[in-house]
Amino acid sequence: MNKHTILCMFSGGIDSSGVLHSLVTDPAFRDRELIVHHIILQNRENRAKAEMDSVTAIIKHYQEQHPERPFTYTQSVFNTMGFAPLQANRFPFDMDVCAFTAANIAVARKDVRQIAMGRTKTDVDSGGQNFQKRMERAQNVFRAVYSLETETVPDYIFPVINMTKQAIWEMLPEPVQNASWYCRQPQYSEDGLAHPCKQCITCKEVQEFIEHA
């Protein structure tokens, strides 16, 4: 296999929607095949359904609006709901699960030579040392999967690294804006619909620029 494929890890959030948007619309990526993967993270934060609804709508949007740029969509499930009897506060970090899954997909598909992640200027500017350390650990998880492989480790790419969350938001088409999910603690109404909590860090951050838009 000589083809060169990019694997886009997609959560349905604003940052990874920005990445998907760039990969689909930017001619610079047109010569590479694209796999888009969503991990259904079932944990005590209870975001899985809200994220899945976003992912479904956004994937549909790009498939319908950009038939010139087809991609393969895949998903997997990572479920730690069974940790409940431990009554512990800790469960695996999304970033680590994402790195582990991405590496295993790339090992299985040798043509995957780049992993696209939704890191932004906002993360880098405001994340501080804590964020750097978590990124480093995730990259270590990624490389660890490759310790038994002979080929070189694929590169991480960050197509929206120079953009703030707000700039990404403004770049996204309206249907994608409306479908994207950002809240860390969704509140579900009785009809099963997810609503942003309006209290968490990302809710507050996003409200700032949605109100001013």
Residues at the interface with Zn ion (CB under 5 A): 183, 196-197, 200, 203
Nearest distance from residue 182's CB to Zn ion, in Å? Answer: 7
Nearest distance from residue 199's CB to Zn ion, in Å? Answer: 6
Of 69 and 184, CB closest to Zn ion: 184
Of 142 and 181, CB closest to Zn ion: 181
Q: What are phi and psi of 197, to 5 degrees?
A: -75, -20
CA distance 188 to 12: 17
Helix axes 94-108, 121-145, angle to 10 degrees: 50
Nearest distance from residue 203's CB to Zn ion, in Å? Answer: 3
What CA–CA distances, in Å, run from 27 to 32, 83, 90, 143, 149? 10, 44, 42, 29, 32
Record the tokens describing residue 3, joined without a space: 């083809």
Looking only at the bridges linking them, the beta strands covering 194-195 and 187-188 are antiparallel
Of 118 and 196, CB closest to Zn ion: 196
Of 141 and 179, CB closest to Zn ion: 179
Nearest distance from residue 201's CB to Zn ion, in Å? Answer: 8
Nearest distance from residue 87's CB to Zn ion, in Å? Answer: 24
What CA–CA distances, in Å, run from 26 to 41, 78, 139, 155, 168? 29, 31, 26, 19, 14
Of 79 and 199, CB closest to Zn ion: 199
